[in-house]
């Protein structure tokens, strides 16, 4: 393999960070249509109800979305007919404390921290979470989400209704 | 004693708004209702083997549900008899002894005080048998465990009465394997517990609040969930219990096993066939996976709702915690239980396609209830009994009738004025 190809294929932390920040920005702006395009065909968006299950597919999650479910979810949130998201809460999130946990020719895996503040009807709520990302490079060079796991700090405890994406 | 005249706050077709707002009424409800009747605490599969436990609540009081060495289920106040520390803060697990972390008093799973460290420091007449963890009266039906502080009330089976028939039908979603819990979503909403109690047999809101859930289904499934258009009904089962039949075709999951398998379960059916299950089992499992076509509301704190248990816990007069417990087949095919989990996630939980909209509606009720001084909550919808479906002699109305709420508030009134 030529050196040049390898350099374009490897995903640097800086690239991954920029990608994750752009994703966070889309979500805070409720810009779900371009967000749907950030995913691989088989990508999984998971928000668990336990800290570290052996297999997410075999346990109950808050969200366990494949492509079809993500599309349905975005459609629901944008429809204007869902009482909990019309009007939606305002959110501001930051993602930081990145640690690369694995990387290879065309992928990178990271963990990170997300601090999200939600505001609606006079309530201010905080939803801190541990994040895990698997990001891959598509043949056209773009980065795509292959897995995003949002483990809320209180994943196993009670939540309030959440009418937006984490 | 309070100076409220509770009887005047509940009429046949309306209840007074103070029932959502008044902290004095709430405190009395905790005593007169939650300390005085059968309260759901767990399912038997939460404590499947000896020395397994789960923490839970009876009203505002934390309890531990345990299975002791004799396989007997106990419900124990989660409070050390020494100086009151909670003895268990885990959600569930296994423990052959509960050791209080403060001074080390240790208790058996049946509550017996086993050991006291440095026992020599106590007077000679100190008798350990006087200080077990406090046990509540416990009875079970169809695997559902209920506890009560009241030793004198009627047996659980009598309290449930005609609701038992519906519990029997509901458990058929175990497809013959029995039912077990698969996990739970917990969420809170800033509102009174009775707002949630009302919701479980409120089909009137379904097509409006859950429009985006309906839109996310395929056409065939959307028809199934056309709950107002299928000849369903609501029936008062006595003692505050009620059933709302939304999909009459799915009352008895052992009927119609020859019906074509719905499209949405075609993949599951194939997976089950590939695993070597015969056609009869495949049909039985597939039909069970979709859940029952009714919501059974058991006063005061639990419902058997289509495919899950819905448990409410009053926290304060204006805060309520809800738990939606996913259930599946105990020992049944893994593919079937996986499908149950995905269906549960689709509607339920803090980010489901249904729950946040319900929660928003309930919050709006509580917010709105602060307007006005002397206004009433109307429960007057649906007076005509539907033909030939409910138990003869039962009070019943069409599926969107508020019969279930009226039943619950009449029980509320009986208990609050007793
Ligand atoms: S409070 Fe439990 S041993 Fe002292
Ligand atoms: Fe609802």
DSSP H helices, B161-237, are 163-170, 193-199, 206-209, 211-215, 219-224
CATH 3.90.380.10 fits B162-417, yes or no: yes
State residue B13 phi and psi, 5-degree precision: -120, 10
* A113: its two tokens: 């921290």
Distances (CA, A) of A104 to A100, A138, B369, B404, B413: 11, 14, 58, 60, 67
State residue B235 phi and psi, 5-degree precision: -135, 130
DSSP A57-117: GGS-EEEEE-HHHHHHHHHHHHSS--TTTSSPPEEEEEEEEEEEEEEETTEEEEEEEEEEE
Q: Which residue ranges make up each domain of chain B?
A: 39-141, 162-417
CA B203 / ligand 2 centre spacing (Å):
8
Q: What is the ipTM of this complex?
A: 0.94
The domain made up of B39-141 has a fold known as Rieske Iron-sulfur Protein (2.102.10)
Helix (H, G, I), strand (E, B), or coil: what is residue B291? Answer: coil
Estimate to the nearest angstrom the gap between the alpha carbon of B58 and the chain centroid: 12
Q: How far apart are CA B260 and CA B248, in angstroms?
A: 17
Q: Does A102 touch chain B (CB under 8 A)?
A: no
The residue whose C-alpha atom lies closest to atom 4 belonging to ligand 1 is: B103
Q: Does A157 touch chain B (CB under 8 A)?
A: yes
pLDDT tens, position by position, A72-93: 999 999 999 999 999 999 999 9
Beta bridge partners of B297: B242, B303
- The pLDDT profile of chain B, 418 residues, written as one tens digit per residue, is 455 799 999 999 999 999 999 999 999 999 999 999 999 999 999 999 999 999 999 999 999 999 999 999 999 999 999 999 999 999 999 999 999 999 999 999 999 999 999 999 999 999 999 999 999 999 999 999 999 999 999 999 999 999 999 999 999 999 999 999 999 999 999 999 999 999 999 999 999 999 999 999 999 999 999 998 888 999 999 999 999 999 999 999 999 999 999 999 999 999 999 999 999 999 999 999 999 999 999 999 999 999 999 999 999 999 999 999 999 999 999 999 999 999 999 999 999 999 999 999 999 999 999 999 899 999 999 867 777 788 888 899 999 999 999 999 999 999 999 9
| Rama region for B324: left / alpha / beta (φ>0; ψ in -120 to 50; rest) | beta
Considering only CB atoms, which residues of chain B are within 8 Å of chain A? Answer: 91, 182-190, 209, 211-213, 215-216, 321, 326, 334, 338, 341-342, 344-346, 349-351, 353, 355-357, 359-361, 363-364, 367
Q: Prior bond to B342 cis, omega within 30?
A: no
Going by C-alpha positions, the residue among B236, B216, B213 that lies closest to residue B356 is B213
Cβ density class B363-386: b for 16+ within 10 Å, e for less: bebbeebeeeeeebbebebbeebb
Distances (CA, A) of A79 to A32, A74, B13, B172: 11, 8, 35, 37
* B347: its two tokens: 């509607």
């Amino acid at each position: 393999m030529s050196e040049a190809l390898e350099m374009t294929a490897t995903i640097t932390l800086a690239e991954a960070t920029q990608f994750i920040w752009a994703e966070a920005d889309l979500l805070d702006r409720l810009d779900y249509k371009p967000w749907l395009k950030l995913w691989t065909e088989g990508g999984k968006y998971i928000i668990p109800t336990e800290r570290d299950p052996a297999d997410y597919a075999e346990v109950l999650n808050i969200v366990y979305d494949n492509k079809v479910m993500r599309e349905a979810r975005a459609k629901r949130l944008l429809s204007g007919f869902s009482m909990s998201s019309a009007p939606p809460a305002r959110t501001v999130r930051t993602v930081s404390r990145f640690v690369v946990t694995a990387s290879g020719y065309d992928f990178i895996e990271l963990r990170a921290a997300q601090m999200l503040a939600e505001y609606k009807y006079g309530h201010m709520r905080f939803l801190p979470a541990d994040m895990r990302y698997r990001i891959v490079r598509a043949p056209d060079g773009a980065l795509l989400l292959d897995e995003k796991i949002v483990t809320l700090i209180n994943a196993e405890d009670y939540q309030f209704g959440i009418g937006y994406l984490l | 004693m309070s100076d409220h005249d509770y009887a005047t706050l509940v009429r046949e077709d309306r209840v007074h708004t103070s029932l959502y707002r008044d902290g004095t009424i709430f405190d009395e409800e905790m005593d007169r209702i939650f300390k005085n009747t059968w309260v759901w605490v767990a399912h038997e599969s939460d404590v499947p083997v000896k020395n397994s436990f789960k923490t839970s609540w009876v009203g505002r009081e934390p309890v531990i549900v345990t299975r002791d060495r004799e396989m007997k289920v106990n419900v124990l106040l989660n409070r050390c008899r020494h100086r009151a520390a909670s003895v268990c803060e885990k959600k569930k697990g296994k423990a052959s002894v509960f050791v209080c972390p403060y001074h080390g008093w240790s208790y058996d799973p049946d509550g017996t005080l086993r050991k006291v460290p440095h026992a020599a420091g106590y007077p000679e007449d100190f008798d350990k048998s006087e200080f077990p963890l406090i046990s509540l009266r416990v009875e079970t039906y169809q695997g559902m465990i209920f506890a009560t502080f009241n030793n004198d009330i009627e047996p659980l089976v009598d309290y449930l009465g005609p609701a038992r028939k519906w519990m029997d039908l509901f458990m058929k979603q175990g497809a013959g394997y029995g039912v077990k819990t698969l996990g739970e979503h917990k969420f809170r909403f800033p509102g009174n517990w009775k707002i949630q109690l009302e919701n479980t047999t409120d089909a009137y809101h379904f097509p409006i609040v859950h429009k985006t859930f309906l839109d996310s289904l395929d056409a065939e499934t959307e028809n199934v969930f056309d709950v107002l258009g299928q000849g369903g009904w609501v029936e008062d089962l006595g003692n505050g219990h009620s059933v709302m039949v939304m999909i009459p075709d799915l009352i008895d999951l052992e009927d119609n096993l020859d019906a074509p398998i719905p499209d949405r379960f075609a993949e599951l059916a194939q997976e089950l066939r590939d695993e070597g299950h015969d056609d009869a089992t495949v049909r039985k499992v597939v039909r069970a996976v979709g859940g029952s076509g009714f919501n059974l509301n058991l006063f005061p704190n639990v419902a058997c709702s289509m495919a899950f248990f819905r448990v409410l816990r009053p926290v304060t007069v204006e805060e309520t915690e809800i738990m939606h417990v996913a259930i599946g087949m105990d020992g049944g095919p893994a593919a079937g239980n996986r499908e149950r989990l995905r269906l549960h996630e689709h509607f339920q939980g803090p980010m489901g396609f249904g729950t946040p909209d319900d929660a928003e509606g309930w919050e709006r009720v509580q917010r709105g209830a602060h307007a006005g001084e002397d206004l009433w909550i109307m429960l007057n919808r649906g007076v005509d009994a539907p033909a030939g479906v409910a138990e003869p002699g039962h009070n019943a109305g069409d599926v969107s009738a508020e019969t279930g709420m009226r039943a619950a508030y009449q029980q509320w009134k009986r208990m609050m004025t007793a």
